[in-house]
Structures are given as structure tokens and as C-alpha cells.
Amino acid sequence: MPKLTPPVSYRTSPRWTAPEARAALTAFASSGLSQSAFCRREGLDPQRLRAWQRKLGSSREPATFVEIAPRLAERVEVVLPSGVVVRVSESVDAAALRRIVDALESRAPC
């Protein structure tokens, strides 16, 4: 007889604790699904997941800065985990770009 796995607590809990929310966000990030597809599969309200995502921040790994060779692209586009897109020319100073990205990542949401 197959062993039944216990339900994941974030699926059954009427009010999430921070650890349950982190577990849900981690499962979402590793699922490879869109947010709506993940919520449908897990039986979750997408608004609940988005609210905890805003409250705790994204569960994705932090972005790392990689300097590219100058002739690979005329324009470079950087998409931050927050969804902010930064477009710069290939000749941008790496230190200046790092300061811009740091400032954008540390700003409070609107």
C-alpha cells in the first residue's frame, strides 16, 4: 500500500506564519510554473502569495553582478529580482552601474 504524504502546511493553514509563507515561496520559485499555474496546482489564492512575496521579498537567489566584455552588446539590459529593468550602454562604468543597482534594490516599494 502506498504511503500517503502529509499535506504541506502552507496548503492547509488558514493563516500563514512567516516560515509557512517562505516554504510556499520557495516551492513556487523551484516549481518553474507561472504564479497563477502554481497557485492553481496548490489550491492557493494568488493574492495571498503576492502579499507574502511583497512582505518577505522574493525567495529567488539574490542577483549577482557579472561584468561582460565590452563588444558583446551595444546595450545591456539588467532585470532585477524586483522586476525593475535597467538599460545601459555597453560603455557604462561597472562601478557606477553597481551603485545604481544597489540603490534600486534597497529602495522601499511604492
Q: Check residue 90 and report its DSSP letter.
A: T
Domain-located, residue 4: no
State whether 20 and 41 are in the same domain. yes
- Cell 534597497, residue? 106
State whether 50 and 78 are in the same domain. no
State whether 71 and 101 are in the same domain. yes
Domain count, the chain: 2
Domain-located, residue 2: no
State whether 65 and 83 are in the same domain. yes
pLDDT, averaged in runs of 10, over the chain (110 residues): 55 79 87 89 89 75 62 72 81 85 72
State whether 18 and 40 are in the same domain. yes
Find the domain containing 16 and state its range: 9-56
* Contact of 90 with 76, CB cutoff 8 Å: yes
Residue 25: count other Cβ atoms within 10 Å of its Cβ.
19
State whether 35 and 73 are in the same domain. no
State whether 16 and 46 are in the same domain. yes
- Give the model's pLDDT for residue 77: 83
DSSP assignments along 50-73, one per residue = HHHHHHH---SPPP------TTS-
Of 21, 38, 56, the last residue of a domain is 56
Tell me the whole-structure pTM to 2 decimals: 0.46
- Give the model's pLDDT for residue 2: 53
